[in-house]
Structure 1
């Protein structure tokens, strides 16, 4: 077991991607607004992520191709090939650029919690973090980037575990929240956002691309599955800790919170300065890790689905990754409230998830490509359940939006 933990790899990229500022902010608002009630959504999202990411990793290990490559190959003579390329390309490129803005803003908020907040420091922080992410993407090999992200995941885990221990949540209420599904009045948007911030569509492309680089043959599938379960399980635990910390501190005390940055500040008079610094460190690590993985996943996906000559793929990979960082930095500095950017990205993710998951299930049922490693009845049932639940929640949210223009203000004091 210890050897598997020491060799954790592609799964950590997935965890580093979904434990970003969006997760910290959405989880904070969930706990501050609804206490422990929505923890079941985190548990569902964690299990759903394991189900879908295991498929993605299996695809990469068995075929030695990414998800985008496989879809293009399977649909090469189909009418749906180019509509699929356009849909995936636009959704990932535009969505991840907005996501990147939230990542950079969140990392800057983490620094602000550590050093003191000011408009000037926010601008400098966003610029510095964007430059750091761009530098790692430009010069770092996959293995170097992987090591950096594993380190950041460890920092996040330690920071949020320590903060959880300080606030001492109600374990009985925590258990009920995990096991008893309920959607309180005004909680639907937050449920969709919690799922969208955990089951991240672009991670399906990132994981397949990373897994094929780490494991060269199907004989390594057990290692790939263990890596997925351990890393994503840790990510789910971190999210549960964040929701529970906000429930114990903000909800229990009747305090309002607009962002995770505000939570860091408001924890200080309740539990001392250590909470502020721990949460700030966790938010910074979350922002930086996701600021690397969002451009990386976009670059993998775009170079896989577009007809690019092999010799030009590395240059295209860099160009796509760096352009996502640049657009994200521009959006982060455009004067839009960071929390608005972050929550909009989570909401969009929740609506996009069923579409990308259907593409994944389609690819995983191609026996001509995967042979005996194609999905069986049990895996297809689990995957279909994830798609169905995500689609129902997303549809309910769209219908509610059509009925009312006031729903956006219900879940949190934005």
Structure 2
């Protein structure tokens, strides 16, 4: 048992960055809409994620060079740069969701009155500059991040487990009423995207090298992947089941369009303080994703340019800081004028169509090279499941392409009610988190 916990490390960072605000809100929405029918989806997405993370970890352990260096030596530097640029752009644009989630977690702590625009900007600037300072000042950045993510995952597991147990020891407060409305499949598909994060899996190879793993650590890498990603799946399942128990087939359905709505899950355990406890959870999820999400784009972009792939190098830190600043700027622009970031998000979604399947294909390509023999070989089972994951990523990318097409070819404008506009905003947010976010968060 001691050896198992000792081997846990890189994948827990990936799990923590994937389990962000988007994952929490999306799985809650699925539980309220589909109930326990969402559990097989979580199981399938978790299996795909385990395979992809395991594949990436083994590649990081068995190859002497980094992923982009290996791709550049085989397919040419432009291919590596294309992958790095795509991933960096996605991370930088969608880092704005972490900034907005940070505001969403902080505002309720100051009462029911929303913060003004200047106060929101001040919070975001202070948070980003503080994280950038930490980025440059910490001597052992990897170890610090790993320990922080272990603590975060432990806190989230205990919190949601206790709430889950309390809720299931009490009878339902209402009689379920079957809904006659057509189901909205977007949250269910979104939960796949926020659990099966190809971008997060791709970064696992870099984390394995930071850990110092080599070919002899293949077993440790596999154990780490299974434990950490299974924990991700279990927490997601607990959130879904809690939401199912509280919201599914409720006679007075709740839209779950805000943090406050979802916070009602915690009322059986925390009472009136539920909103604040849940907001702190959302805040913790945003902060956990804040730095690591930017590190993914910054490290891979630097590596693709041949400027280094270690967190001890300067270029990965510079590119990570750039991703943080771009995400902050996009978030501030969004807060200043609603809809001002639509074009940026559309570009990022268009890049997703190419980028996410390309990342999966790159991992499979490097995992099937003939020189990987003996203790450097990749088990066929991992490759087969990873190939299935590649096709799933293609399906999600196709859905994104359809969404981008709809944005570029909008139907004739018609006057909408406030309720319809609010529903549109929720749909956009779920799609934004599901198919665009690298956390898939």
1:315 matched to which residue of 2?
314
1:16 matched to which residue of 2?
16
Whether the aligned pair in 2 keeps the contact of 1:10 and 1:146 (CA below 8 Å) is yes
Please state if 1:226 is matched with 2:223: yes
Matches within 5 A, 1:201-216: 201-216=198-213
Go from structure 1 to structure 2 and tell me whether the alpha carbon gap of 1:267 and 1:241 turns closer, same or farther (over 3 Å shift): same
Name which of structure 1's ranges 157-166 and 297-306 shifts more when overlaid on structure 2. Answer: 157-166
Shift of 1:18: 0.3
Please state if 1:97 is matched with 2:71: no
Give the unaligned 5+ runs of structure 2.
172-181, 412-419, 430-441
Go from structure 1 to structure 2 and tell me whether the alpha carbon gap of 1:326 and 1:311 turns closer, same or farther (over 3 Å shift): closer
1:179 matched to which residue of 2?
none
Whether the aligned pair in 2 keeps the contact of 1:28 and 1:259 (CA below 8 Å) is no
Q: Deviations over 1:365-413 (max 9, x none)?
A: 1122566533343332211111123323543564587689699949859
Please state if 1:280 is matched with 2:279: yes
Name which of structure 1's ranges 359-368 and 343-352 shifts more when overlaid on structure 2. Answer: 343-352
Q: How far apart, in 1, do the equivalents of 2:309 and 2:366 lie?
A: 23
Whether the aligned pair in 2 keeps the contact of 1:100 and 1:329 (CA below 8 Å) is yes
CA RMSD of aligned residues (A): 3.6
1:108 matched to which residue of 2?
103
Q: Deviations over 1:16-67 (max 9, x none)?
A: 1101122122222222333333232222111111000001100111114332
Shift of 1:312: 12
Looking at CA atoms only, which structure, 1 or 2, has the larger radius of gyration?
2
| 2:243 corresponds to which of 225, 241, 246 | 246
Give the unaligned 5+ runs of structure 1.
172-183
Whether the aligned pair in 2 keeps the contact of 1:93 and 1:324 (CA below 8 Å) is yes
Task: Provide TM-score, normalisation by structure 1.
Answer: 0.82
Please state if 1:386 is matched with 2:389: yes
Q: How far apart, in 2, do the equivalents of 1:28 and 1:347 lie?
A: 27
Q: How far apart, in 2, do the equivalents of 1:263 and 1:279 lie?
A: 8
Go from structure 1 to structure 2 and tell me whether the alpha carbon gap of 1:235 and 1:312 turns closer, same or farther (over 3 Å shift): closer
> How many residue pairs get matched?
394
Go from structure 1 to structure 2 and tell me whether the alpha carbon gap of 1:150 and 1:360 turns closer, same or farther (over 3 Å shift): same
Name which of structure 1's ranges 345-354 and 238-247 shifts more when overlaid on structure 2. Answer: 345-354
Whether the aligned pair in 2 keeps the contact of 1:50 and 1:232 (CA below 8 Å) is yes
2:152 matched to which residue of 1?
152
Matches within 5 A, 1:115-264: 115-116=110-111, 118-120=114-116, 122-140=120-138, 141=140, 142-168=142-168, 185-187=183-185, 189-253=186-250, 254-264=253-263
